[in-house]
Structure 1
Amino acid sequence: MTIRQRIMKFLYPVLMKLTRAAGKNSLILQNKNDQPMSSIYDLSVQLNNGKTISLEQFRGKKLLLVNTASNCGYTNQYEALQELYGKYSGKLEIIGFPANDFHEQEKGNDEEIAQFCKVNFGVTFPLVKKSVVVPSDNQHPVYHWLTSKQENGWNEQAPTWNFSKYLLDEQGNLINYFDPSVSPLSSEVVSAVESKTTE
């Protein structure tokens, strides 16, 4: 870890309390039973090790998609994400999408990002090759689906910063959006992960 990263890790609990108290980066959105126009299971992702996987393999599990960065005040959420991943093993999958879209807080290459996450946070959930997650011509297809009402059925909220979170149910319906200051271990996220899906 760099000195900057150590300082940010130390200040993370304060950042979370202040941003939640101020209502900054704390938006939570919930699906009102709208169905997707296209299936996210038709999409694939290329992991940072070069392997391509279909999202179809996650059918039957909740799926949390998070845009990540190594030099952000919220970077310590890697630890919380890993804890959530371990707690709900077999029921929840998490995929991280490292992105350099917010103040260039992810400048590393795929190998450096993977090493940073493993060494500092013990991350074992999959990380995608460094991507663009904000709306643009280069936006990752998964994030185009997540932020397009014409695809997911209801949501147009793009990530507001690093560590924005999108939760899908066991049938591939987008059920929640959580802003960065909503911790992966918050009651809101845990409750959504534990919720039963109506088929």
Structure 2
Amino acid sequence: MSEQNLVWRTDDTKKYYFGTELIGYGQRALADFDISRIALPYLRELRDETEETVHLGIEQNNKVVYLQKLESPQSVNLKSRIGGKLNLYSSAMGKALLAKKTYDELDEYLSKETLKPLTKYTVTSIADLYDQIETTKKRGYSIDDKENQDEVVCIGATLEKNGIVYGAFSVSTPDYRMNSKRKKQIISYVLETQKKIEQAL
């Protein structure tokens, strides 16, 4: 642990102290806690406006980790739980987070990640994923169109302030409740919620 700077020991007293490597983890944990606390009232409002399930997540080790799940008042079967993980490449929150990375960071991520199909709609081509990421960058929101779970569509966006990406959130709805008018409405709600939370950060 000493070699990894997780702890250090004084020569005179032989006592151990937390090392510098843990500082980043502490700051990250604090940021995660703050984003959850700050975002929650706005995410509840988004859930009530859309009557769909709303998630909040952060990126850890090339995955999205759920911090919050606000259930839809309507019946829906979503395979998600707080603390659960998602692929970046197949989820709305993940693709929103990928759109904030540099090309070098994307190349590094894709060099370690295999794009495995979770449904018949999952993007498994690196070229197609890059196209989706570019589209996400231009329009400011991402879409998971039944790519992570059959018959579930998600619209997501990141939460960023002063160049720091704190996480991402999404609205998830069964495909049968989605049409072009409904999609535009949810996108509008997502972008408005993004604006409110980022102003509160």
- TM bin (shorter chain): 0.3 to 0.5
Pair member with larger Rg: 2
> Looking at both structures, which has the greater relative contact order when contacts are Cα pairs under 8 Å and sequence separation is at least 6?
1
TM-score (norm 2): 0.34
The TM-score normalised by the length of structure 1 is: 0.34
